[in-house]
Amino acid sequence: MPTRWFGERIPRNEDPRLLTGRGMYVDDVRRPGTLHAAFYRSPHAHARILRIATDQAKALPGVVAVVTAQDLPERIRGPLPKLIPHPALVHHKTQVALAGEVVRHVGEPIALVVAESRYIAEDALELIDVEFEVLPAAVDLEAAAKPGAPRVHADMADNIAAHHIQRAGNVEEAFAKAPHVFRERFTMDRGSSSPIETRGVVAEWDPRSHQLTVWDSTQAPIRIRNYLSDLLGLPQANVRVIAPDIGGGFGPKIMMCYPEEISIPWAAMMLERPVKWIEDRREHFVATNHERLQIHDAEIAVDTDGRILGVRTTYLHDCGAYCAYGLTVPIVSGTTLPGPYKIPNYHAEYRAVFANKTQTSPYRGAGRPHGVFVMERLMDRVARELGIDRAEVRRRNFIQPHEFPYDLGGLIYQDGVRLVYDSGNYPEVFRKTMDHIGYADWAAQKARYRREGRRVGLGFAFYVEGTGIGPYEGCRITVEPSGKVYVATSVGTQGQGHYTSFAQIVADALGTDVRDVIVTTGDSGAFGWGTGTFASRAAVVAGNAVALAAGAVRQKTLQVAATLLEARGDDLELAEGKVFVRGVPGRAVMLGQVAAAANPLRGVIPQEWEGPGLEATRYFAPPSGAFAAGCHAALVEVDTETGLIRFLRYVVVHDCGPVINPMILEGQVRGGVAQGIGNAFYEKLVYDEQGQLLTQTFMDYLLPTVAEVPPVEVDHVETPSPLNPLGIKGAGEAGVIPVPALVASALDDALSEEGVRITEMPLSPSRLREILREAQTAPTPA
């Protein structure tokens, strides 16, 4: 048993269950008498609903109910809750549980069928007849932003949901005086997070106890509980929302609420039978939020040494048909863009635009890949134009270790707090990365490849990632007389290993084996306060709440054990599941005995115990986010004849402060890199002009397989955060963020002879060859 669990590469507590097929995912919830739901979804991107005929569907044997908007009670018929308001978000449009009048994207639910099986429910969908008046659709982002475009929301004058500007310094002056200004347009297209488990909801209503239980594949069970309680008119205590094992989330499983998250629980109450809805893959493509499409016009002003004088970006953000979640993604793009560089003058301005497509909300990275893509592309451009080595340009502009906390001059981050980097060591992260990839002698190596007729490029990209934002998370820890330690926190887990990393923190505080610490997450019945798993915050915010609660239980343990052992608390130690007098291991009590003694049948409980039992609840509310950083570098080979690419090496150096479990961290990073590779070269959601999604299967929306994802070498730098007791920073999104920028930079390098300049993502073999052709025929830029 290690003396300290924190920092150990230990296997996960949750694995045996998941490996043996004993996981409990939403679709695994089996309640007697369960009915199965399916949705009739809009086949049109934009249409008025004239008539809905459900009689035939209702008559089909096995169908229990067919519900349309008019059947819903008043309180859930209107627009669903607005998540994160923002002063700039003047048109905070949200979707409805069931569309009764207008549909604004393909896949919007219109009718709910509940039947004895999903098979029958789908049979019934075919018997529903809806008459539509098809309306013109706004699909293309730029076109949708123009005046006169078809309006997604009839009560608006145009499709602009928000127009928002953030500034630091005086950009106009900086650009006017700058010796060099470089401009570029960058595009990142739509993608889908596509967890292998789709969404799902199972709801059960007990009419006697008035208790609603909902199993939901959400990343934010407590918030869902709160909204359900509000929308269905039930006390919070009568609603229990459980996020059981979740088969991957990556952002879009946090919405509060998707239409189905309200209509299914309501149906269960109305029918007084459990109702299960499991999204199928084609539904997932149209009904679960997308992300990524933004078009940035960007320019950078530099002096003759390549020092940044100013950066300006104006961009369009694609909301889809609604923007329930708010402006997180474009705000994060604008505030991530400056990255590790000193940018004295900065201007970020965007318009968030409605279009007749599936709604968007944060997907792993959440706007950061865009910001990093723009900034790192600009830095490469500066290097090329000024003939300065691209690593050197970066070194000249890095924020230095002694300059923290570093204030970005008045930018406001997604949490509404002024953007100040807490800590970091960017030059060191960069040096390590360049060493690992062998940048020093890359020129010679590249020439060698070239002589062999191979086109290989070295790419790299640096990012700073805001993680671990508030408002808060909480945790309750209880030691039972068995000696087992029970930890309850509300953040859901989607594979990030919280059952283990939280247990490591607790095991250290209580001197127990990590396997004796049993963590419950994401069950509002076990712990009722919290916000959710997003923005790389679970480890930071909940992790610190866990540490605080564990510290409190440790104190209590010492107090109680002191009485039992007739010793002073200061003289006691906790190890191996025991409390003992330092230097006298024989004078010991088991942790479980202490727990029993803390809950006596007779006698008095001393005032200073603050109640019975070895139990404590603590909350952690960070003042602001903790900023992680990292750099990725890779060698990418291009077959110019076919446009195929292949990674020869991939290196990540990451700084997220002290690492609780390096194995889990590396897994997070590697998984993120794989998604980033998808974003860069494989995954693209394609809409036609009518707003039909052409990529609705895994045959057309291409998730990378083992053949496309290289082994990733991971190394760490540890700069603790001063903002939380554990000093940790989040790591959930680190893997994905810089990949598009890195791939672009590697391709530029591999195809430098042709003068290729990648400004868009994702690419494909076909598109890459097109770019190559364009570069070859284009006049060489002046």
Partner 1 sequence: MNGDPAHTTPAQAPARVPARRKRRLREPQSALTIRFTVNGETVERTVEVRKTLADFLREDLGLTGTHLGCEHGVCGACTGLLNGEPVRSCLLFAVQAAGAGIETVESLAPGEGLHPVQAAFREHHGLQCGFCTPGFLMSAVALLRDHTVPTDEQILETLGGHLCRCTGYQGIVEAVRAAARTWQR
Partner 2 sequence: MKPAPFRYVAPRSVDETLALLAEHGAEGKILAGGQSLVPLLNMRLARPQVIVDINGIRSLAYIRRKDDHLHVGALTRQRAVEESATVRRQVPLLWEAIRFVGHPQIRTRGTVGGSLAHADPSAELPAVAAALDAELVVRSPSGERALSPGEFFAGYLTTALEPTDLLTEIRFPLLPERTGTAFVEVARRHGDFALVGVAAVVRRSDGTIAEARLAFTGVGPGPVRARGAEGRLAGSAGTSRVFADAAREAAARLDPESEIHATAQYRRDVAATLARRALELAWQRSGGRTR
Options 3, 70, 607, 697; binder of partner 1; rule CB under 8 A: 697
Quick note: the x/- pattern for partner 2 over 654-693, rule CB under 8 A, is ----------------------------x-x-x-------
Nearest distance in Å: CB 645, partner 2: 12
54 binds, among ligand FES, partner 2, partner 1, none (CB under 5 to 8 A by kind): none
Other beta carbons less than 10 A from residue 612's beta carbon: 11
Pairing of strands 275-278, 290-291: unpaired
Residues 188-227 that bind ligand FES (CB under 6 A): 196
Verify cis geometry, omega within 30 degrees of 0, for the bond prior to 2: no
Angle CA(509)–CA(510)–CA(511) in degrees, nearest 5? 100
x-or-dash pattern for partner 1, window 455-474, by CB under 8 A? --------------------
Q: Which segment (99-107, 340-348, 473-481, 671-679) binds partner 1 by CB under 8 A?
A: 671-679
The structure tokens 């830029």 sit at 781
| Residue 20 near partner 1 by CB under 8 A | yes
Taking CB under 8 A as the criterion, the residue among 173, 272, 280, 689 binding partner 1 is 280
Nearer to partner 2, 101 or 700 (CB): 700
| Interface with partner 2, residue 176, by CB under 8 A | no
Which among 702, 698, 697, 696 has a CA at the least distance from the CA of 43?
696
* Nearer to partner 1 among residue 245 and residue 733 (C-beta): 245
Our finding on whether 706 is near ligand FES (CB under 6 A) is: no
Which positions from 611 to 650 touch partner 2 by CB under 8 A, shown as an x/- string? Answer: ------------------------------xxxx------
Kindly state the tokens that stand for 400. 């230095």
CA 683, CA 290: separation in Å to the nearest integer?
12
Residue of 475, 502, 26, 23 whose CA lies nearest to 242? 26
Tell me: does residue 699 bind ligand FES (CB under 6 A).
no
User: How would you list the strands of the sheet with 180-188, edge to edge?
Assistant: 160-168, 346-354, 308-320, 294-302, 180-188, 760-761
* Amino acid in position 173: E
Return phi, psi of residue 604, to 5°: -115, 155
The DSSP call for residue 79 is: B
Helices (H), 678-753: 739-750
Q: Which of 369, 371, 671, 691 binds partner 1 (CB under 8 A)?
A: 671
Beta bridge partners of 461: 632
709 binds, among partner 1, partner 2, ligand FES, none (CB under 5 to 8 A by kind): partner 1
Q: Shortest CA distance to 514 belongs to which of 667, 671, 717, 663?
A: 663
Q: Which does 695 bind (CB under 5 to 8 A by kind): partner 1, partner 2, ligand FES, none?
A: partner 2
- Interaction mask 111-130, partner 1, x per CB under 8 A: --------x-----------
Q: Does the footprint of partner 1 cover residue 533 (CB under 8 A)? A: no
- DSSP type of residue 389: -
User: Measured over all CA atoms, what is the biggest interatomic distance in the chain, rounded to whole angstroms?
Assistant: 91
Q: Which of 58, 77, 282, 515 binds partner 2 (CB under 8 A)?
A: 282
Distance of alpha carbon 469 from alpha carbon 622, whole angstroms: 7
Taking CB under 8 A as the binding criterion, the range among 122-130, 164-172, 230-238, 648-656 that sits at the site for partner 2 is: 122-130
How many Å separate Cα 499 from the centre of its chain? 19
Name which of 93, 104, 194 is nearest 704 in CA terms. 194
Q: Residues 87, 453, 586, 711: which binds partner 1 (CB under 8 A)? A: 711
Integer CA distances (angstroms), 683 to 24, 412, 529, 556, 676, in order: 29, 31, 36, 53, 9
User: Any contact of residue 447 with partner 2 (CB under 8 A)?
Assistant: no
Per-residue DSSP letters for 138-169?
--SHHHHHSTTSPPSSTTSSSSEEEEEEEEES
* Nearest CB to ligand FES, comparing residues 495 and 530: 495
Q: Which of the residues 187 through 246 are near partner 1 (CB under 8 A)?
A: 193-198, 245-246
List contacts with partner 1 (CB under 8 A): 11-12, 14-16, 18-23, 25, 27-28, 30, 119, 193-198, 245-248, 250, 278, 280-281, 494-497, 663-664, 666-675, 697-699, 703, 705-707, 709, 711-712, 735
Residues that bind partner 2 (CB under 8 A): 118-119, 122-123, 126, 280-282, 641-644, 682, 684, 686, 694-695, 697, 699-700, 702, 704-705, 707-708, 764-766, 769-770
